[in-house]
Structure 1
Amino acid sequence: MLSSKRQSDILQAVKANGSCSIAEIAEALGVTTETVRRNLKPLVERGLVTKFHGGVMLPEEVEEPPFQRRIAVNGDLKRKVAELAARRIADGDSILLDNGTTTTFIADALADHANLTIVTNSAEIATRLVRRNGNRVFLAGGELHADDAAVFGPAALDFIRQFRVRYALISVAGITAAGDLMDFHLFEAEFTRVAMAQAQERWVIADHTKFGRVAPVRVGGLSDIDLLISDAPPPPDLAEAIAGSGARLVTP
C-alpha cells in the first residue's frame, strides 16, 4: 500500500500512459515538479516505476509489450506525429515503412494520398495501403511474427535491398540525450539500418515520450538521419544534440 495519495495519483498517471515526463505529471496533478520528484523516490525504490531522463515509466515498459497494446499507448501523440509526416509526402512518392506502431498510424494518415510506392515488412501496414488510390505495395517475405505481423531476418533484408525509395520512415524505441537511436531487439535494429541505406532521406518518427527512453540496442545516431519528426520539442540536452548532428527537427 502506498504511503500517500500523492504517490498513488502519480502511479495512476504513469499507468494510464505507460510513461510520463516529470513536467506532464506535475501539470496533470497541479503540483510542482519538485513535489513530483520527492514523491517519485519511494515509488522508484519499491520498483513500481523506472526512471529515465526527465521522466518515469512502468517497469514492464523495459520489455516491449505486444503490438496491439503498444499501438494504444499514446495514440493521440502518435497520430499527431503521423499527420505531420504525411503532410511532407506527395502523391507518387516512394516510401519505406517499418513495423512500428507510429508508422502504422502513418499508413492511416496516408489514406488520401495516391499512387504511392510502399515497401514494408509489416502486413498491418501493407493491408492498410494496398487497396487505396492506385498504390503499389511491396511486402517483404518470410515468417510473420505473431505479435506484430512483421517479417524480419536475412530474407527480409535481401528483399528491401532491391529497392531505392525517396523516404525511409523509421520508428525507434527511444532517443537518448546524447542522440543515440535505440531499439529493443537486435533484429529490428538490423532491419532499420538496412532500410535507412535504401532511402534518399531518412526520417525518424517519434513522439516526445521517446525522448530519453531506455532501450538496449543502438540503431545509430542522429547524424545518420535527415529528419526527426515529433509532436513536441525535445528537452534542451537532446535539442543541442540534434542541432549538432545536422538533422532537421519538425514539430507542430
Structure 2
Amino acid sequence: MNQSPRQRAIVELVRDEDVTRVAELAGRLGVSDETIRRNVKGLVENGLLTRRHGEVAFAGPAVDAPFLERMRVHAAAKKALAAAAVDCVEDGQVLMIDTGSTTAYVAQALRARRGLTVVTNSLEIAGRLVGRNDNRVYMAGGELRADLAAAVGAEAAAFIRQFRADLAILSIAGIDARGSFTDFDLDEAGIARAMIECSDQRLVVADGSKFGRRAPVAICDPGEVHCLVTDVAPPPGISGWIEDAGITLVLPQAGANGRRAPAPVSGA
C-alpha cells in the first residue's frame, strides 16, 4: 500500500504510542474525526490496522507484540534522543543499527537522511528504512526472537561481519560505575560486539535510567565508544570515566552539561 503522510502518521501513533481512539488521533494530527475515519478505512482494508467500537489497533505480525510494548514506554523521551542521534549522521553513510526500542526511534528519525546503507538485525528498523530516500537495507538472518523482533545468533553475527560501516548505532541496558557498557541478553550483546568490530565509529543511545544499572553481560570497554547520546548528565561516578575515555556526550538540548557532536566519519 502506498500510504499518504497522514496514514503513516496514524500507523506510527497506533503502533508506537498506543493511541487508539479516533477522536484522540484526530486531536493529535489536527484534523476532523471524519478525516481520520477515511484514512483509517484504507489502512484497515490493506490489513495494517483493525477497527472495532470506535478504536483502532495495529495489525502487525504477532512476533512484534512484546517489542511494541517496549516501544511505548517513555516514547517521547526516546524520540528526543533519536532526533539528537540523527544530528550525528550524514547522508550517504553506511550504518549498523542493533535492535532496541530506542534505536527503532532512531531509524524512524533517519528518514531525514538520504542514500544510507543500513545493516541491521531488527525487523522494526529494517521496515522503517527500506524503500525510503534511496536507502539500501541489509537484514541479518538467523534465529528470529519474538521478544526482540530481531535475528540473533552466529548466523546473524557472521552476516554483519561481511560489511564495514562508518558508524554503529547501539542500544544498551546499563552503564555502570566500573566503566562498562552492558546488557542483560547474551544474544543482543553478541550482535553489538559484531557491529563494534566492523564499524569505524560507535554511538550509544541510552536514557538516564541506564546510568548505574548493573547488567551481567559486557558489551564493550569505554574506549570503543565515540559518542553517547543521553537525556541527562551522567552522575559523578560515571561522568569521570566517560570524560577520561574521550567519549563525546550529546544531550537533546545541549547546554552546560552537554554538547553536540560533530558528524561522524563521512560515507564518501
Note the alpha carbon deviations across 1:180-230, whole angstroms, 9 max, x for none: 111011111111111101111011111111111132211122222111111
Query: Which amino acid in 1 is paired with 2:109?
Result: A
Residues in 1 aligned to 2:138 and 2:72: alpha-carbon distance in whole angstroms: 26
Tell me the amino acid that sits aligned with residue 224 of structure 1: E
* Equivalence for 2:135: 135
The residue number in structure 1 matching 2:214 is: 214
State how far apart, in whole Å, the 2-side matches of 1:207 and 1:180 are: 16
| CA deviation after TM superposition for structure 1 residue 111, in Å | 1.4
The residue identity in structure 1 corresponding to 2:71 is I
Whichever residue aligns with residue 186 of structure 2, its letter is L
Deviation at 1:113, TM superposition (A): 1.3
Q: What amino acid is aligned across from residue 78 of structure 2 in structure 1?
A: K
Once residues 91 and 219 of structure 1 are traced to their aligned partners in structure 2, the CA distance between those partners, rounded to angstroms, is 28
Aligned to 2:17: none
CA separation in 2, counterparts of 1:187 and 1:143? 10
Deviation at 1:179, TM superposition (A): 2.1
The structure 1 segments of at least 4 consecutive aligned residues displaced by more than 6 Å after TM superposition are: none
Please list every run of 5 or more consecutive structure 2 residues that lacks an aligned counterpart in the other structure: 1-64, 254-268
Provide the C-alpha distance between the structure 1 equivalents of 2:181 and 2:66, rounded to a whole number of angstroms.
Answer: 21
- In 2, distance between residues paired with 1:244 and 1:178? 13
Give % identity: 44
Q: Give 1:203's aligned residue.
A: 203
Distance (Å, rounded) in 2 between the aligned partners of 1:173 and 1:70: 13
**8 Å contact 2:167–2:202 — kept in the other structure?**
yes
1:82-93 residue pairs with structure 2 within 5 A? Answer: 82-93=82-93
Q: What does residue 173 of structure 1 align with?
A: 173
Indicate conservation of the 8 Å contact 2:174/2:214, yes or no.
Answer: yes
Aligned equivalents of 1:205, 1:94: Cα separation in 2: 18
1:6-25 residue pairs with structure 2 within 5 A? none
Aligned runs of 1:1-252 on 2, under 5 Å? Answer: 66-251=66-251, 252=253
Whichever residue aligns with residue 181 of structure 1, its letter is: F
1:120 Cα shift? 0.1
Distance of 1:241 and 1:74 partners within structure 2: 27
Q: In structure 2, how many angstroms separate the alpha carbons of the residues matched to 1:230 and 1:121?
A: 23
SS at match of 2:152: coil
Output the CA distance in 2 between the equivalents of 1:177 and 1:192: 20
The answer to whether the 8 Å contact 2:142/2:154 transfers is: no
**Per the alignment, in what secondary structure is the counterpart of residue 243 of structure 2?**
helix
Say how many residue pairs are matched: 188
User: What one-letter code is carried by the residue in structure 2 that aligns with 1:78?
Assistant: K
TM-score, length of structure 1 as denominator length: 0.72
Mapped partners of 1:221, 1:106: distance in 2:
23
Residue-by-residue CA offset, 1:50-88 (whole Å, 9 max, x unaligned): xxxxxxxxxxxxxxx932222222222211111001111
CA RMSD of aligned residues (A): 1.4
